[in-house]
Structures are given as structure tokens and as C-alpha cells.
């Protein structure tokens, strides 16, 4: 365990890609996975799409660490589990990531990661937690109204992240 943010971030950025502004994406305009709304909150002003497109690598990393890595307690999770939870937090929000992790380990899914949840995570092999999270995410994605539009990409991302997370457990 420990802070493996620098090792996990490239996996996230690989899947988040560059600029996107798909009309069916409820997140709206994004650059490297950072939505315009998140960027505006970060900058504290009504930043433009052009400003979002010009976001620096340092700002991207800082936003991911502050808004997704730490709120999902990834720094307290075993290698591999940290990656799949981080990816889920980025893709579906830290609250959902915390609850799905709790469901996966049999803890109360209240969204609060504390000693009980961390003990439940530690009681299972990391590969089992990763498999359970992978399966839970797939069920979630398949239930979304936008699955027909984005499902193929989500399934590819999920598969690749699960494989990378599994490799990290070795």
C-alpha cells in the first residue's frame, strides 16, 4: 500500500484521451477526462472550452489527485485495487467508487471509507476485490441509458483496467 498515484495516473489518462464534447455525454465537454464544470470549480471562474483545452499536465494531475484519488482513499488500498477504484472514481464519481468498493468487500455501502471498510478490503485477496469490482461496474454500465452509445468503449476500458490492476497485484 501507499501512495501509488504516479503509477496509476497514466492508466487513467490513457483511457480519458484528449478533447471530447459528445452531445450524448452527460459530462459535457472534457479534456483528458476533466469536465468543464470540474475545471471551472478548480479555477474558480467561468473558464472557457478553449481554456480547458489548454489545461496543463500539472493541473490535470492535481485535479485527479485532489478530486478522485484522495476522496476514494486510493492511497490506503492495495496495489491494483487502488487503480480500479481510482478509474471508477474518475469514470463514475468518487461516491459511487466508494460504495461499489464497499459492496465488493461486504461492508455497509454508506460511501464512508473507514476502518471497517479498510479491514474488509484487507481480508480479501486483491485479485478477488478487483474481480468483484469489475463485475459490479459491468452491471452498472449495462444498466445505463447511454450504454448503446458508449458501452463498447466502457467495456474495453473496464477490461483493460482490470487486467492492469490484476498485474499490479503481483
- Please, what's the largest Cα pairwise distance for the chain? 47
Q: Which residues of 3-29 are buried (b: 16+ CB within 10 A; e: fewer)?
A: ebbeebbebbbebbeeeeeeeeeeeeb
Q: Taking the domain 5-168, which CATH number applies? A: 1.20.141.10
Q: Which residues are CB-contacts of 80 (< 8 A; sequence separation ≥ 6)?
A: 126, 127, 130, 165, 166, 167, 168, 169
**Model pLDDT, residue 1:** 55
**Model pLDDT, residue 21:** 87
**Model pLDDT, residue 2:** 59
**Model pLDDT, residue 96:** 97
Kindly list the domain boundaries of the chain, sorted by start residue: 5-168
| Dihedral angle over CA of 112, 115, 120, 123, nearest 10 | 150
**Model pLDDT, residue 27:** 77
Mean pLDDT by 10 residues, the chain (170 residues): 86 90 82 94 95 96 97 97 97 96 97 96 98 97 93 95 95
CA 77/CA 79 separation, integer angstroms: 7
Amino acid at each position: 500500500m501507499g501512495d501509488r498515484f504516479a503509477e496509476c495516473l497514466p492508466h487513467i489518462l490513457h483511457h480519458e484521451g484528449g478533447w471530447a464534447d459528445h452531445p450524448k455525454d452527460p459530462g459535457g465537454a472534457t479534456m483528458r477526462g476533466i469536465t468543464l464544470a470540474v475545471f471551472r470549480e478548480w479555477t474558480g471562474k467561468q473558464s472557457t472550452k478553449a481554456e480547458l483545452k489548454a489545461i496543463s499536465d500539472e493541473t490535470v494531475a492535481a485535479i485527479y489527485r485532489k478530486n478522485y484519488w484522495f476522496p476514494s482513499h486510493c492511497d490506503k488500498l492495495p496495489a491494483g485495487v487502488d487503480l480500479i477504484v481510482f478509474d471508477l472514481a474518475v469514470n463514475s464519481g468518487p461516491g459511487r467508487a466508494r460504495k461499489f468498493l464497499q459492496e465488493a468487500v461486504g461492508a455497509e455501502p454508506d460511501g464512508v471509507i473507514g476502518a471497517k471498510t479498510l479491514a474488509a478490503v484487507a481480508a480479501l485477496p486483491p485479485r478477488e476485490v478487483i474481480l468483484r469490482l469489475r463485475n459490479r461496474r459491468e452491471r452498472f454500465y449495462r444498466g445505463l441509458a447511454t450504454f448503446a452509445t458508449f458501452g463498447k468503449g466502457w467495456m474495453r476500458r473496464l477490461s483493460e483496467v482490470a487486467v492492469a490492476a490484476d498485474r499490479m497485484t503481483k
